[in-house]
A and B are shown apart, each in its own frame.
Chain A
Amino acid sequence: MITEAALTVDLAIILLSATLAGFVAKQTGQPTIIAYILVGIVIGPAALGLVEVGELTELLSELGLAFLLFLLGIKMRIDEIQHVLSPIVKISIPQMIAIFLAGAGVAFALGFGPVESFLIGLAVIYSSTAVVIKMLNDNDEATSLHGKVDVGVLLVQDIVVVIILAVLAAGQPDDLAEVATTLGVVLVLVALVTIAALAASRTVLPRLFRRIADNKEVFFLVALSWAFLFVFVSDNINLFLAPLGIEAYLSIEMGAFMAGVAIAQLSSSKELQDRINPLTDLFVMVFFVSVALDLEAAQLLAYWQEAIVAALVLIPIKFLVFMYLLDWQGFDTETTFLGSIHMIQVSEFGIIVIAVAQTAGFVDAEVLGFVTLLAIFTMAVSVYFIEFRHPLFDRFEPTLSRVTSEGTFETSTREYRDHAVVVGYDDMTRNALPILADRYEDIVVIDRRVDHIDTLEADGYDAVYGDARKATIRKDAALKRADLVLSSSADPAVNKALLREVGDETAVFLEADRVQDARDLYDSGAHCVLMTAYLSGNKLAEYLRAYLDETEALEASIDDDVELLRSEKSIPDIHLLGGEPDE
């Protein structure tokens, strides 16, 4: 029978202490991940013993991981990473092999057994997606060349981690042949899931999401439904394969990731990122806190000296390996340096790999403690290096350019600069587009209707699907470097956000419903705030006067307006005046 379900105290403690630690970390410039892990250590059995892993915390941390990979999947737009794809693959494969050897070697030298060293090697090859992407986003460098290369390499690493997780989770193998079989089955399953996801992204999903894209709530929940479908199938894969006599395992992370990749290829994916992000933040927090909740102090600190030594060895090795490989691929000195310095830490996935290995009985909890410490330590150090990357580069540039070769890599995409940004495609902004097109090379239009996006793209504009209330969407338009911003949103919140993010020289045209809003917007730096209701009210009154005076001018103006009405077809199938924008 049902009983009064009191909300768990555990979760409240986790939430409150993580928040507290998060704020402290923010003030001291540490990444929040570190704070969360430390909180787990402090409130967990290792120190205070306030909290144990309960059913709800377990769920949320599982969801955190699944959502993190789903989110990562959503970011995998194949057309966006295509031009750096070849160098990325050429960098990441040798990098992983080199770091694996270094990591396993260091572990072995520090006295770990062969299996342990092997797994530690596997655990340290990834750089931290959470740290790197967060730092890139914070510094607005995600779309820079080194940002793209780093993101690409991280994605390749993530695919590898997913496969490794699947193999590890299958449990203790009896012999090499079994490992091979497991690997084979996993690869086939991964391939099948990939094919299913990509097939869906070409067939069902575009139609489905086009239909629901205009309802934000439904859109979001159906996307989650899609993700959970993959999570569920991956998790219960044995159930489906049992009749065939095959035993296999697919990680829920793999499922979530592929579900995300399928959605990534749709134009609405950007919007979804922003919707998933907050949930992911919340759940991933629980995940990081619960990482250490299973660890006793003794287990965590069993190898603390080894962890420090390993960190001190691995950080420079990672840096040098990346330097060498990026230089080999012909990137210029600065890109090489910046691309490398971001990637020197050990990833949270390393902890997951070892955690799964521990669950499967390959290693002891102490090894998990070792890798956890290693990850915490390298992440903390790397954050400082990333923070001071520019002074460091200036300092070492002369030395570096002597050892690195000339940059030969041509970047094919350019960044927006001195462009125009238009928020909202409607009766008001539509007529302004051709005029802007005469003047600007790039015009970015943000709109949240799929049919508008199609029209805009057909007319040669850069269209961003999404809600301008979302930070990611605004970021995509590179407001800071825009020469002109035009918004037909009457929402003061959106317009204020735009004003905060534009550059000093940007001319800003906005819309407002109320005089007070308009005044606020002018105070915040807007150049022109259109007030549709007042404008048309004045116009209408003007017409009425002319009508009452029975002047001829009225007929002319009315004909004019009617002409304007008739001259253009209504929005979805409109062809703009003034021809195509210049390319």
Chain B
Amino acid sequence: MSELLTAVSIIFIVMGPFLVVANRFDLPTVPFFILAGIVAGIGMDRFGIDEALTLELAQYGIALLVFTFGVGIELSSVRSVLVDSETAALGQILVVGGLGIGAGVAFGVPLSEALYLGIAAALSSTIVGTALLQAEIGMDLVHGRVAESIQFLQDLLAVLLLLVLSAGVLAADPIAEMLGYGLALLIAAVLVNRFLFDAIGRLAGESSELMILGTVSLLALFIGAAEFADVSIVVGAFAAGLAIRHDPIEHLGLVNGLQSIRDFFVAIFFVTIGALVVWPFVEVGWAASVDKVLIAGVLVFLTAVVKPAVTTAILLYQGYEARSATLTGLNTDQVSEFALIIAIEALLLGALTQSVFDAIILAAAVTMISSSLTNYYSDGIYQVLSDRGVLKSGHDKIDSWSEVPDDISDHVVILGYGRHGRKLVDACEERDRPYVVVENDPARRDEVRAECDAVVIGDAWEPYTWEKANVGDARVVISTVEAESLSRRILRLDLEPDVVLRARDQETALSLLEEGALYVNVPALLAGRQLVEQIQAVLDGDLTATELREQQLTELESYTHTSLGGSADDTPSVRP
């Protein structure tokens, strides 16, 4: 058995228990990989193995990490993020990045290295952030979506940074050259995607083995090209990802296969990073350790306190209401895996000293763990900040955006303007009944204002929103939002009118009913009932499968025609 196999064995054996712990406490895995790296590093020392041995495998991890990021990019989503007001949140990167560089220089780190501290402070982790927000993104809540697009933009920016940094110096000419190579790679990626990838798919036929080999070969080719042009391999990997970006429906086996290969190498990457850190107080002397810990501490402070604060402030300024802004801000309070990649690349290029590198890794491990805590307690944190008056929730925004007749009464308050909301608005208009739509997503603002008679743009968590909707005189409140926390909050507000809620599952629905809801809508259960009827009809022979199909197609057409203006398909599908 080779030394390398021993090293990989140690990495995986050590990793296992750490992952079990992470899973037990529902924490993100990345920081635990890094922690496992510390132990694995000690283990490798015992066996006389150099940690740098796994560095090449770690590079594959980096490549695959970026590669799958590239594969996952949907061009349409890039466009929609760019046109959204959410880009302004990138201002956060400038502010926090600047502070990071400044703090570095203040601590005596040379400017060229302080740059990396700035990057580490500014970028937040997609892996950790989206994992923590999985449910919110699935329910299409505002802060889930905003946080996701901020992270997405940051990742794109990180790839660009890596491209620029591979110039080695901060001069216009080499950077322009790098950008040129980067552009060439992107063009190659687009060409491959257009012409070559489908051919590979056709030739591979049913064989996912060949499909995976073909894809990995493409990755190798792009990385090779990047190396040849002296560009960071990350840029090559990203381009390769774009090159095979494809409808997952046709290549399900490929998507699954790449996931396994990625998980394997990415795990090695994160653990190796942990193993490469020279641990303060354990492996080096007192003075150097204090320095290292100090820098790491500043970085943690910038990442975990300043960054969310700045993000929140910017979002508030843009008109997001306080709660969404705070929760989004809290979701950005960790160091990004891309910052780790940039750091390790810089370390390998000799642009970063060991102690600054260590500080970045330490800060990453700390903030990734602390981030899951702040996200877990995000509502509590928001409540505390809000009660202390830190989040000045001026009502003028709500007032200026909302349109509610003063004398409205006996009306229906509809929470959320998605597919359910539209149907309810239809019903009200049909019956000539006044209604107020409450919507908190600024992206839907114009649409709601254009299509509905009375709207409140505000957060249902805030009493003022309800006041604005004149809920005291309303007939019924119907929430189309699935989030259980919001449903409970509405019930606790003890509103005058009847309350109709929505729940994801039966258990929640029953408890909401017990707490006073008039009715709780569980979509899956309703669908289940219709399903049962249809299956019964087919099984009993009342209906042939083909007849059912015809009938269903007609019904499908009715879905597309009943919605008020615009397509009925504006809600993104729930991610798996």
Contacts and interface: CB of A to CB of B under 8 A. Distances in A.
A80 interface: no
B535 A540 contact: no
A278 B527 contact: no
Interface in A462-492: 469-471, 484, 486, 488-492
Contacts of A566: 510
Contact of B559 (A63, A470, A534, A544): A534
A490 B522 contact: no
A127 interface: no
A371 B551 CA distance: 64
Interface in B474-513: 475-476, 478, 480, 500, 505-507, 509-510, 513
B85 interface: no
B263 A540 contact: no
A544 B545 contact: no
Contact of B13 (A32, A228, A558, A571): A228
A420 B118 CA distance: 58
B32 to A, nearest CB: 10
Contact of A532 (B206, B426, B527): B527
B348 A5 contact: yes
A58 interface: yes
B552 interface: yes
A114 interface: no
Contacts of B207: 26, 32
Interface string B221-250: 101100100000100000000000000110
Given A228-B13, A471-B253, A570-B505, A278 B258 contact: yes
Interface in B518-576: 518-532, 534-536, 538-539, 545-546, 548-549, 552-553, 556, 559-560, 568-569, 571, 573-574, 576
Contacts of B170: none
A233 B286 CA distance: 38
B216 A282 contact: yes
A522 B549 contact: yes
Nearest to A239: B47
Given A228-B13, A428-B531, A540-B478, A62 B1 contact: yes
A278 B208 contact: yes
A431 B529 contact: yes
- Main SS at interface, chain B: helix
Contact of B19 (A225, A228, A571): A225
B390 interface: no
Nearest to A16: B217
Contacts of A509: 531, 534-535
A516 B223 CA distance: 37
Given A7-B59, A228-B8, A281-B209, A527 B549 contact: yes
A55 interface: yes
B199 to A, nearest CB: 10
B13 A564 contact: no
A59 B2 contact: yes
Contacts of B431: 545, 548-549
A570 B509 CA distance: 11
B4 interface: yes
Given A59-B8, A536-B420, A16 B260 contact: no
B176 interface: no
Interface string A1-27: 011111111011001101100110011
A528 B348 CA distance: 57
A196 to B, nearest CB: 15
Interface string A134-170: 0000100000000000000000000000000000000
A515 B546 contact: no
Nearest to A275: B260
Interface stretch (A95-103, A116-124, A210-218): A210-218
A236 B183 CA distance: 49
B66 interface: no
Given A232-B10, A278-B257, A428-B531, A224 B264 contact: yes
Among B223, B227, B528, which residue has the most Cβ atoms of chain A within 10 A?
Answer: B528
B25 to A, nearest CB: 12
Contacts of A403: none
Nearest to B528: A428
A358 interface: no
B248 A493 contact: yes
Interface string B180-214: 00000000000000000000100111111110111
Interface string A22-51: 110011000010000000000000000000
B179 interface: no
Interface in B296-322: none
Contacts of B203: 23, 26-27
B263 A212 contact: no
A232 B9 CA distance: 6
A362 B540 CA distance: 71
B242 to A, nearest CB: 19
Contact of A471 (B16, B60, B208, B524): B208
Contacts of A227: 12
B144 to A, nearest CB: 16
B24 A211 contact: yes
Interface residues of A, number: 122
A515 B568 contact: yes
Contact of B569 (A282, A516, A542): A516
A15 B20 contact: no
Contacts of B553: 522
A131 to B, nearest CB: 14
B6 A232 contact: yes
B302 to A, nearest CB: 27
B378 interface: no
A537 B419 CA distance: 7
Interface string A223-242: 01111110110011000000
Contacts of B373: none
Contacts of B430: 545
Nearest to B267: A221
Contacts of B500: 540, 543
B5 interface: yes
A470 B423 contact: no
Given A530-B531, A561-B519, A540 B423 contact: yes
Given A19-B217, A208-B20, A540-B423, A565 B525 contact: yes
A170 to B, nearest CB: 15
B559 A547 contact: no
A4 B510 contact: no
A348 interface: no
B379 interface: no
Nearest to A12: B220
A15 B221 CA distance: 10
A527 B546 contact: yes
Interface string A503-545: 0000101010111111100100011111111111111111111
Interface of B: 1-6, 8-10, 12-13, 15-17, 19-20, 22-24, 29, 52, 55-57, 59-60, 63, 200, 203-210, 212-214, 216-217, 220-221, 223-224, 227, 233, 248-249, 252-253, 255-258, 260-261, 263-264, 267, 276, 347-349, 412, 418-420, 422-424, 426-428, 430-431, 433, 475-476, 478, 480, 500, 505-507, 509-510, 513, 518-532, 534-536, 538-539, 545-546, 548-549, 552-553, 556, 559-560, 568-569, 571, 573-574, 576
29 contacts: A6-B227, A7-B220, A23-B204, A26-B204, A32-B210, A56-B56, A56-B57, A211-B23, A218-B20, A221-B19, A224-B264, A229-B16, A231-B5, A231-B9, A278-B260, A282-B216, A427-B528, A493-B248, A493-B252, A497-B252, A527-B545, A527-B549, A535-B530, A536-B523, A548-B433, A548-B475, A558-B518, A564-B525, A570-B506
Given A26-B210, A514-B569, A534-B568, 18 more contacts: A2-B348, A3-B348, A19-B214, A23-B214, A211-B24, A222-B19, A225-B15, A226-B16, A231-B9, A232-B13, A252-B1, A471-B252, A515-B568, A519-B556, A526-B549, A527-B548, A533-B419, A558-B519
Q: 7 smallest A-B Cβ distances: which pairs? A: A225-B16, A278-B257, A427-B524, A536-B523, A228-B12, A541-B423, A513-B573
